[in-house]
Structure 1
Amino acid sequence: MPGGAIAVASDHAGFDLKEILKRDLQEAGYDVLDLGTNSTESVDYPDFGKAVGEAIASGRAERGVLVCGSGIGISIAANRNPRVRAVLAHDVTSARLSREHNDANVIAFGQRLIGVEVAREALKVFLDTGWAGGRHAVRVEKLSKG
């Protein structure tokens, strides 16, 4: 079984994709911490980005997955937490590079902008890719200092 819990959250505009990705994670053996929302009823994305950020910072989750309509707002909300390095991914390459170069610990998707199969593959790559370290370490350290 993969290690470390994964926190997932979305607003109403990302609910359907969140549920698909959550199910994929559970089927792959991950411990999933669902922080909401639980329907397509309108809610505010900053609340859910913040919740995943807090789960990462507290150690309740090792990684996070966020979804809103564009992925932009919810990733901004998560990145307000200095322990979070959230990336908005649009494809497998951005998911891979975010891990290799930036040691990203949260991936965000825009349900209105990405296809389900692309999001599924990007999430798999994000979780399977390690951090390259080396020349990137100084840069990531600067990101963590704020």
Structure 2
Amino acid sequence: MTGNKTIQHIKILTGIACSLGVLILLWKLPDMLESTQSSRLLTVVEPCDLKQSDCKAKYDKKSISLNVSPSFIPSMAPLTFTVVLDNIQAKTVILELKGKEMFMGINKVQLSPLPDGITWKGTTELAVCVTGSMVWLASVLTYTDSTTEPHKATFEFESP
């Protein structure tokens, strides 16, 4: 009988320890997620109007700048996007374009590095919005390798 009671006590203690571990994880998880995500998410520096000049997003000493040409940003015409990285080493840079309020299809472009090692370029087009002007989100994602989360900066702009 004492063997069964010992096993019961071990099961109870194991259950309490697991429950305590889950509670601690649930309590600390938001802080853990926030600290890893905030170090990778760059905040846009205001004012930001891609039709007027480059836009920049920063976090600590890291920054991502975005430029588009032509600056009036027409739909259904080639657009060249230029990204400049500061204190971010990247092997791959992706530009994702999405409609802010309407799904406009998938538009992802892998940018090509220039010889300076900090500038990346790529060309794509915007779909035509039948309702008139469209607000777009341009997200720049920088990858150092396939195992780490990318640095990300999202810029908003309008196109006719």
TM-score, length basis structure 1: 0.27
The structure number with the bigger radius of gyration is 2
TM-score, length basis structure 2: 0.25
The structure where helix makes up a greater share of residues is 1
The structure where strand makes up a greater share of residues is 2
